[in-house]
Chain A
Amino acid sequence: MISMIELIGIHKTYDRGGTTFHALRDINLQVSAGKIFGIIGASGAGKSTLIRTVNLLEAPSSGEVIVDGKKMTQLHKEKLRLARRKIGMIFQHFNLLSSRTVFQNVALPLRVEDLPESKIRTRVHELLALVGLDDRFQAYPGELSGGQKQRVAIARALASSPKVLLCDEATSALDPQTTRSILTLLQQINTQLGITILLITHEMDVVKSICDEVAILSNGELVEQGAVSWFFGNAKTRLARDFIASTFHLKIPEEYQARMHLLPTPDSHPLVKLGFTGATVDKPLISEASRLFDIDISILSADIEYAGGSKFGYLLAELLGKSDQCEAARRFFIQHHVQLEILGYVTND
Chain B
Amino acid sequence: MLPMINILIHALGETLLMVSVSAIGACFFGLILGLALEVTKPHQILPHPQLHHFLEIIINTGRSIPFIILLVAIIPITRFLVGTSIGTVAAIVPLTLGAIPLSARLIESALMELPQGLLDAANAMGLNSLQIITKVLIPEALPGILNSITMTLVTLVNYSAMAGTIGGGGLGDVAIRYGYQRFDFKMMFLTVLILILLVQLIQSCGHYFVKKCHHR
| Chain A positions near chain B (C-beta within 8 angstroms) | 52, 55, 57, 81-85, 87-89, 91, 93-100, 108-109, 111-112, 140-142, 153, 156-157, 160, 166
Contacts and interface: CB of A to CB of B under 8 A. Distances in A.
Contact of A97 (B120, B126, B140): B140
B117 A91 contact: yes
Given A96-B121, A97-B118, A98-B140, 8 more contacts: A81-B126, A85-B126, A87-B124, A89-B124, A91-B120, A93-B115, A109-B126, A112-B126
Contacts of A112: 125-128, 131, 135
Interface of B: 115, 117-118, 120-121, 123-128, 131, 135-136, 139-140, 142, 213, 215-216
Nearest to B118: A95
Contacts of A82: 126
Contacts, number: 67
B124 A97 contact: no
Contact of A84 (B118, B123, B135, B216): B123
Could you say which of A88, A91, A157 has the most chain B C-beta atoms within 10 Å of its C-beta?
A: A91
Contacts of A99: 139-140, 142, 213, 215
Of the listed residues A88, A91, A98, A156, the one surrounded by the most CB atoms of chain B closer than 10 A to its CB is: A98
Say what secondary structure dominates the interface of chain B: helix
Contact of A98 (B123, B124, B125, B216): B216
Contacts of A93: 115, 117
B128 A81 contact: yes
A89 B126 CA distance: 11
B38 to A, nearest CB: 17
Contact of B136 (A52, A87, A97, A111): A97
Contacts of B121: 89, 91, 95-96, 153
A276 B112 CA distance: 52
11 contacts: A57-B123, A84-B123, A85-B126, A88-B124, A91-B117, A97-B136, A98-B140, A98-B215, A99-B139, A112-B125, A142-B216
Contacts of A160: 125-126
B139 A100 contact: yes
A78 B118 CA distance: 20
A93 B120 CA distance: 11
B126 A141 contact: no
Nearest to A78: B128
